[in-house]
């Protein structure tokens, strides 16, 4: 039987070293370990910013969206092509990080690339992180940012009738949860949800969630740590909200069309496939892609690989189609 690394697409092997350098050799992510990884991520971002030239074809501006009741305002960053005119469609993008890591800055290059390639605006959300801010803080921040986008559309040069939500990993899980909240709170309306290897199910009971224990990517142990940070002792138990773990939702009807992408070697593989199937069964137009030999975060860690470029091209086509 092949090992985890022997099953990986050879083009994607270099990305595993990033996991090692960031400290994911630690399988329990809590306390000082989280702080250490956050610090290393900040170092990586600073290094990338000093070595990669800024994209002068995309303008960035920072704003504050009114936060949930009784909570701080939510930092957001708006990206738009400098040569674009007229009200633009907008993707509300939510960064990943297992609910415990990540910042707006970390996804600058992703948002630049999507804005330029699609010809749309992107609004990236700086939601509060667990464990300092457990559920419902992260998803309520994301929903608050979405409401701000819709309410400020005219001022920002956006088209309120063409708003999508998306993200990667935990951010994709939050995007799916935001779509549920938007449906259940009667707006703002969404035309699409872009779910890149979404983190959807706190129960960790699928075959793939068990298959990838102890691996050098986002492992079962890492995932248990993330859900525990978000939900505390309630993770995996009864009564967890679907707005925390969208796989818990019993009704997926009335949601916007979706693209779900996941790797063959990602522990989220089976929960993502199941969610796509349930969306289809609920009458939601859904496209699903499973990438052979790809682990969690394969595209972000190996952006020049064929798999990453194919995944990105599909996202661009799907967003263009959704935005019309």
Residue pair 122/319 in contact by the 8 Å Cβ criterion: no
* Three-state DSSP state, 200: coil
**Could you count the other beta carbons within 10 Å of the beta carbon of residue 143?**
27
Q: What DSSP letter does each residue of 160-174 carry, written as one string?
A: EEEEEEEEETHHHHH
Provide the 8-state DSSP code for 292.
T
299 flagged as catalytic: no
266 is catalytic: yes
Catalytic-labelled residue, pool 201, 266, 272, 299: 266
Task: State the maximum Cα–Cα separation within the chain, in Å, rounded to a whole number.
Answer: 58
Q: At what angle do helices 15-22 and 31-51 cross, to 10 degrees?
A: 130
Would residue 270 show up in a list of annotated catalytic residues for this protein? no
Q: Catalytic residue, from 124, 169, 209, 228: name it.
A: 169
* Spatial CA neighbour of 102 closest among 145, 58, 40: 40
Which strands form 58-65's sheet, in the order they lie side by side? 58-65, 74-81, 121-125, 88-94, 158-168, 192-196, 258-263, 286-291
Rounded Cα distance between 264 and 58, Å, is: 33
Number of residues that make up the chain: 324
Catalytic hit among 141, 272, 296, 305:
296
In 146-279, DSSP assigns E strands to: 158-168, 192-196, 258-263
Q: What is the DSSP letter of 129?
A: P
For 6, residues 6+ apart whose C-beta sits below 8 A from its C-beta are none
Question: Which residues are identified as catalytic?
Answer: 169, 266, 296
């Amino acid at each position: 039987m092949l090992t985890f690394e022997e099953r990986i697409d050879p083009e994607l092997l270099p990305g595993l070293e990033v996991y090692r350098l960031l400290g994911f050799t630690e399988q329990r992510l809590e306390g000082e370990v989280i702080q250490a990884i956050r610090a290393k991520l900040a170092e990586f971002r600073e290094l990338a910013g000093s070595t990669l030239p800024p994209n002068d074809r995309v303008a960035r501006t920072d704003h504050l969206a009114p936060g949930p009741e009784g909570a701080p305002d939510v930092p957001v960053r708006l990206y738009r092509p400098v040569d674009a005119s007229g009200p633009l469609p907008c993707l509300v993008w939510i960064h990943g990080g297992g609910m415990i890591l990540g910042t707006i800055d970390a996804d600058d290059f992703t948002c630049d690339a999507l804005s330029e390639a699609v010809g749309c605006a992107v609004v990236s959300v700086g939601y509060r992180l667990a464990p300092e801010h457990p559920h419902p803080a992260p998803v309520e921040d994301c929903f608050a940012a979405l409401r701000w986008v819709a309410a400020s559309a005219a001022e920002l040069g956006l088209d309120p009738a063409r708003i999508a939500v998306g993200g990667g990993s935990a951010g994709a899980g939050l995007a799916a949860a935001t779509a549920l909240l938007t449906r259940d709170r009667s707006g703002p309306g969404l035309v699409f949800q872009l779910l890149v290897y979404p983190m959807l199910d706190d129960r960790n009971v699928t075959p793939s969630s068990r298959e990838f224990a102890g691996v050098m990517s986002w492992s079962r142990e890492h995932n248990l740590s993330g859900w525990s940070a978000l939900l505390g002792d309630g993770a995996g138990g009864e009564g967890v909200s679907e707005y925390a773990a969208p796989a818990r939702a019993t009704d997926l009807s009335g949601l916007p069309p979706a693209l779900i992408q996941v790797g063959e070697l990602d522990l989220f593989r089976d929960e993502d496939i199941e969610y796509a199937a349930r969306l289809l069964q609920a009458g939601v137009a859904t496209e699903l892609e499973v990438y052979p030999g790809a682990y969690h975060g394969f595209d972000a860690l190996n952006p020049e690989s064929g798999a990453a470029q194919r995944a990105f091209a599909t996202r661009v086509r799907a967003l263009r189609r959704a935005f019309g």
